[in-house]
A and B are shown apart, each in its own frame.
Chain A
């Protein structure tokens, strides 16, 4: 029965992932990606990773994809123009991707032992957090630092074009144009500074 679920959700995930990267409309692409994430969450549950399946639905299919859709709606339909590379490049790329997948499959698909039996508590929130808050406590704290840095960076990027600020909104005065250029340079500097924190 496990195999049935694996093949059903695996096929759904692959099909929706293919539709994600081939749709012209970014909104359709985002909805297929949500569908793909839900299928992968089902696969997580099939692997007894119940807590991670819940987080996948809540965070990926919920929060992150809502954020993506919000940005897509915000930017409007101006990105409709779809152009891909030369068809020979695309054909070569697809062939090499298929080849790499086949090679990887041959490499990793050689184990035929079934999964070992695990306790009922495996993959639950208690078992995961026990490892997370003992062995990986420092990395857990660093994750909080990373999220703080991301929040500060996003707020900084969003604040500079507030109605009262002297950003790119007021290019009429000559002196302010150089100000906008300076703020662009400082924003890229902040972006580079974020990397060591990660």
Chain B
């Protein structure tokens, strides 16, 4: 236990964790073809960026990062609302939410 209590967590730890989460989200968008899971991966990337904002804001000791996280939350809510509404509409018309099917049917 003495080892753990003397360990220090600094900015680099948080930025590393945030980079890992962000790239997991990127891989979800790139490799998955299910549109809902792609949306969820985008939310995961937004959360990773929020973690970066808050960590840097903590390092600098001000609150500007918090404000930007609040804006990112609002944008994420708007994006999820409109995006999922469009997705439901596409599903009603095409019967699929596979993005490869969209590409084939658009032509």
Inter-subunit contact A128/B67 (CB<8 Å): yes
Q: Which residues from B are CB-within-8-Å of A88?
A: none
Q: Which residues from B are CB-within-8-Å of A160?
A: 89
Q: Which residues from A are CB-within-8-Å of B59?
A: 115-116
Q: Which residues from A are CB-within-8-Å of B32?
A: 21, 82, 84
Inter-subunit contact B40/A48 (CB<8 Å): no
Contact pattern, B 26-41, Cβ under 8 Å of A = 1, otherwise 0: 1110111110110111
Q: Which residues from B are CB-within-8-Å of A135?
A: 64, 67
Q: Does B23 contact A (CB under 8 A)?
A: yes
Q: Which residues from A are CB-within-8-Å of B63?
A: 122-123, 127-128, 130-131
Q: How many residues of B contact A (CB 8 A)?
A: 75
User: Chain A interface residue count: which class?
Assistant: 35 or more
Q: Does A111 contact B (CB under 8 A)?
A: yes
Q: Which residues from B are CB-within-8-Å of A189?
A: none
Inter-subunit contact A168/B92 (CB<8 Å): yes
Inter-subunit contact A67/B11 (CB<8 Å): no
Instruction: With both chains docked as a complex, state the minimum distance between the C-beta of B58 and any C-beta of chain A, in angstroms.
Output: 5
Q: How far is the CA of A135 from the CA of B70 in the complex (A)?
A: 14
Picked from A14, A47, A100, the residue with its CB within 8 Å of the CB of B21 is A14
The 19 listed contacts between A and B (C-beta, < 8 Å) are A4-B5, A17-B44, A33-B40, A33-B43, A40-B47, A48-B58, A49-B54, A52-B69, A60-B47, A64-B76, A71-B84, A75-B87, A82-B33, A93-B27, A97-B27, A146-B75, A158-B85, A161-B89, A198-B75
User: What residues make up the interface of B, taking CB atoms closer than 8 Å to A?
Assistant: 4-5, 7-17, 19-21, 23-28, 30-34, 36-37, 39-41, 43-44, 47, 50-51, 54-55, 57-59, 61-64, 66-67, 69-71, 73-82, 84-89, 91-93, 95-98, 100
